[in-house]
Amino acid sequence: MLQMDPFKASMFLIPGLAICLYWGGAIAPVEIHPKNTPGYWGRAAKPQPDNPKVEKFQVKIADKALEDLKSRIDSSRYFEGFDKIEFQYGFDVDYMRKLAKYWRGGFLTKWPEHEAKLNEYDHYRTQIEGILVHFIHQKAVLKEGQTAVPILLLHGFPGSVYDFYKFIPAFTDPLNHGGHENWEVFDVVAPSIPGFAWSEPPHKPGFSPHDAARVFHELMERLGYESFYIHGGDVSGVGQIMSQMNHTAVRGLHTHVFPMFPSSTERQFLQGLAHAIPALFLTHDDHKKVIPFHGWMEEFIEETGFLHEAMTKPDTIAIGLTDSPVGLAAYILEKYSTWTDNAYIHTDAGGLAKSFTLDILLNQVMIYYTTNSIHSSLRFYKEWWSSHEVAQWERLPVSVPTGLVCLANAPRQTTAPQRFASQKYTNILQYTDMPSVGHFASLENPDFLADNIRKFVRNCEVRRGKQKKAMAKKANQ
């Protein structure tokens, strides 16, 4: 990380305070109950009724599209890089030349195998609010006497449902994947957010995380799940909003993204005091999550440049990224470097090979490129920033049972010490520090994350069972 002098730190403090004031309600007016009216995002000028049919879907990339991709990789232009520079200026251009060579001459020659891998699970699409929503629906393999626990897995950016491929089998069929007889068995639903991957993009402006939350509630109801668990983070809190929107349907929320942006004057005050007198509020292990403040803010500025662009003018950058597969790969994979560990900025090849295989990374790039979805995924951030409803949800508490996972190497702005998190999440059942893992935990250490989710669900189910017994006993008195 670059060293920052006090003058620069004070300059970064101004936009930081502006963000805090905005989310804290000092600038924007607050309404207690955000509106939740179904929208229509289809192509027609007037709303049309949805076709509720759920249809099988298969990933299939045409040979013509693959040949065009190869041609574009071959014709990519590069510039001269600096000597002895890794990722301090962004994605290293010399490493990109090598990566593009493997993409063109190695990865794409095995594309049928990669495509078969993408089709490993059961894919479907159904129409909700005028657009086709893609999702994986993998049913549990049940033994006699077992009951499936439904769970909704929500991806982030620049990820996809592919994030969860490594632990879906352990959820749906644990006995055949190293599990035990007493482990919970899950029905897994993993949707693509509209505008991402194989979900149709909204054809009208305004589709925000608030709207995605409502669409996914409709999806789960359509699939017959009255209540379910959610795991998800990133992309501006879709899972969090779902738990606030209908807390009776959400049995519990498990997330690894719970930002420290204040949503109340109390939280602002506590955070200010913690920065000034950390020993009064924080354990030693929690210090690095919030201090020093100028370091926290510097990292925020360095790692959210993409966010500013996406929140304001996403289509500008999307034009270039849509046209150039190499440019798209650099844009996406730079996040897999610095969000996995900020120290990778100074590591050869951005440290990408330390945590992932090139095939895993290129599969993610291929999903964005072949579905032509980088523009609509970036627009989602603009709609988040512009949404009055999302701002309102952010200022309201989350009351469902919550499991929080603090990823040690993820950007510090994405998590908070439990003391601060409890101001927002009022029913924290589980808080875990996950060491040596960055933002993409489901790919980097899927076993640890899956076990943590399973433990959280087990604790929630035990509590639900006790509550049901208590209610039955009270009713019989």
Q: CATH number for the domain including 187?
A: 3.40.50.1820
CB distance 442 to 167 below 8 Å = yes
pLDDT at position 236 is 66
Cis peptide before 292 (omega within 30 of 0): yes
**Could you tell me if residue 161 is inside a domain?**
yes
**Could you tell me if residue 343 is inside a domain?**
yes
The structure tokens listed for 38 are: 């179904």
Terminal-residue alpha carbon distance, the chain: 64
Nearest to 121, CA basis, from 181, 66, 175, 166: 166
**Could you tell me if residue 40 is inside a domain?**
no
CB distance 299 to 411 below 8 Å = yes
**Could you tell me if residue 265 is inside a domain?**
yes
**Could you tell me if residue 32 is inside a domain?**
no
pLDDT at position 275 is 66
Give the chain's domain count: 1
What HEC string does the chain produce? CCCCCHHHHHHHHHHHHHHHHHHHCCCCCCCCCCCCCCCCCCCCCCCCCCCCCCEEECCCCCHHHHHHHHHHHHCCCCCCCCCCCCCCCCCCHHHHHHHHHHHHHHHHHHHHHHHHHHCCCCEEEEEECCEEEEEEEECCCCCCCCCCEEEEEECCCCCCHHHHCCCHHHHHCHHHCCCCCCCCCEEEEEECCCCCCCCCCCCCCCCCHHHHHHHHHHHHHHCCCCCEEEEECCCCCHHHHHHHHCCCCEEEEEECCCCCCCCCHHHHHHHHHHHHCHHHCCCHHHHHHHCCHHHHHHHHHHHCHHHHHHHHCHHHHHHHHHHCHHHHHHHHHHHHHHCCCHHHHHCHHHHHHHHCCHHHHHHHHHHHHHCCCHHHHHHHHHHHHHCHHHHHHHCCCECCCEEEEEECCCCHHHCCCHHHHHHHECCEEEEEEECCCCCCHHHHCHHHHHHHHHHHHHHHHHHHHHHHHHHHHHHHC
**Could you tell me if residue 6 is inside a domain?**
no
What are the two backbone dihedrals, phi and then psi, of residue 162, each rounded to the nearest 5 degrees?
A: -60, -20
**Could you tell me if residue 110 is inside a domain?**
yes
pLDDT at position 285 is 73
Distance CA 295, CA 288 (A): 10
- Residue 174: give the domain boundaries: 55-476
Q: pLDDT tens, 161-177?
A: 999 999 999 999 998 88
A 10 A CB-CB count for 235 gives 22
pLDDT at position 293 is 61
pLDDT at position 105 is 96
pLDDT at position 472 is 81
CB distance 307 to 381 below 8 Å = yes
**Could you tell me if residue 15 is inside a domain?**
no
Q: Please give the order of strands across the beta sheet that includes 55-57.
A: 55-57, 123-128, 131-138, 186-191, 149-154, 228-232, 250-255, 402-407, 428-434
In the beta sheet, which residues pair with residue 231? Answer: 153, 254
Q: How large is the angle between the packed helices 325-338 and 314-323, nearest 10 degrees?
A: 120
- Please list the active-site residues: 234, 381, 439
pTM for the predicted model, two decimal places: 0.90
* Torsion angle in degrees (nearest 10) through CA of 309, 313, 317, 323: 150
Distance CA 124, CA 102 (A): 32
The structure tokens listed for 355 are: 């945590």
Distance CA 108, CA 105 (A): 6
Cis peptide before 158 (omega within 30 of 0): yes
Nearest to 401, CA basis, from 448, 455, 463, 450: 463
Q: Which residues of the chain have pLDDT under 70?
A: 1-33, 236, 260-276, 278-279, 281, 287-288, 290-296
